Amino acid sequence: MLLPLLTFSLAFIVTYGLTPLVGKLARRVGAVAIPVDRSVHTHPVPHLGGMAIFASFALTVVLVEGWPDDRTLTILGCGFLALALGAVDDLKDISPTSKLLGQILVASLVVGLGVRVHFISNPFTGGIVYLGDWSYLLSVLWVVAVMNVVNLADGLDGLAAGICAIAALAALFVAARTGVTTTSVVVSAAALAGATAGFLPHNFNPAKIFMGDTGSMFLGFALAAISVEGALKQTTTVALLVPMIALALPITDTALAIVRRLRAKRSIGQADKGHIHHRLLDIGLSQRKAVLLMWGVTAWMALSAVILSEVREGVGFIVVACLAGLGPLAFLGLLTTGSIASSGQGKNLPK
């Protein structure tokens, strides 16, 4: 485990050092988040912090691996496009439709260049189902979905960065345990976890800088692409289950947001104050406590994913999934009973 530790540490240090420089650049170009009605911050904060995360990730991967293989280069190149899409949104505030089209374009490109899921495994029988012609479409949907889940999770200081760091660490652990420690998957997962964790000292409440859509777009893309790359080098779909389970909380929040907005006959791209993190604040938690609680739930879900990677078949799979995975979500449901699914007064805002 020395290589992953060194990779994580290098990425952490690089991001930590680069972030203040990116903050100065953001202020210089006017990339500053001004508080609006649904904002939880009360003063202007520079964003574009995702630039530091991406630069650290790319630099670390190249330094550790040497010249990366073709698929890693594909992930780096398309990751830059995801970053650029987020930066345009941060600077120009593009429409939800334009953003979605951009996400589909980036996802289609990375999948078209070979980073795709060709099969899934049945955890109950151990058999394999080949996707055939569905491979391309499902892979694109996976990348777009994770990009949006992470984007919507970026609502409190440090929330999205912490969730993504935990998910990347879980992916790293499972990749190492399943025998791909010598591949680019481990290096990429360690670099992503370290780069994201290195951003947290600047982003935790009170945040000195936000990652912005620049960061959330890249992180969502990177988690999705690395998990697909891991699936290419394993005999099961454990690599896909890890981010899916680790991101169960923001996935649930995204699903509730879609239902809530459809019931209110509003566009699903129209923001409101009905997200889980908003409701936690409404019941009296501070930003820090709300974020720490959601980190804790995510860590538990990530641990569940790691356990499931060891118990992959039959009844054991079901028992572990129910006991280890659903408990924290049920707790949050009780904590915010009657609030999470309620309608908020939506406004045409970026998220």
Q: For residue 222, tell me if it sits in a domain.
A: yes
Q: Which are the contacts of 292, defined by CB distance < 8 A and separation ≥ 6?
A: none
Domain count, the chain: 1
Q: In the beta sheet, which residues pair with residue 46?
A: 32
The per-residue pLDDT for 243 is 80
349 within domain boundaries = no
Give the dihedral sign, CA 85/109/172/246: positive
Residues of the chain with pLDDT under 50: 181-182, 235-236, 338-351
Q: Identify the DSSP state of 325.
A: I
DSSP 12-37: HHHHHHHHHHHHHHHHHHT-EE---T
The pTM for the full model equals: 0.86
254: left (phi over 0), alpha (psi -120 to 50) or beta: alpha
Give the pLDDT confidence score for residue 350 in this predicted structure.
Answer: 37
Q: Beta-carbon neighbour count of residue 310 at 10 Å?
A: 12
In a domain, 325, yes or no: no
Which range marks the domain in which residue 7 is found? 2-243
pLDDT in tens, 222-260: 999 998 887 655 544 566 777 888 888 888 888 888 888
Instruction: Determine the pLDDT at residue 274.
Output: 72
Burial class (CB in 10 A: 0-12, 13-18, 19+), 96: middle
Residue 321 in any domain: the answer is no
In a domain, 326, yes or no: no
Q: SS3 for 319?
A: helix
How does DSSP classify residue 234? Answer: S
Residues 6 or more apart whose Cβ sits within 8 Å of residue 272: 38, 257, 260, 261, 266, 343, 344, 345, 346, 347
Asked if residue 322 belongs to a domain, the reply is no
- pLDDT value at position 209? 95
**For 267-326, what is each residue's pLDDT tens digit?**
776 666 777 887 888 888 888 998 998 898 889 888 887 877 776 555 555 665 665 556
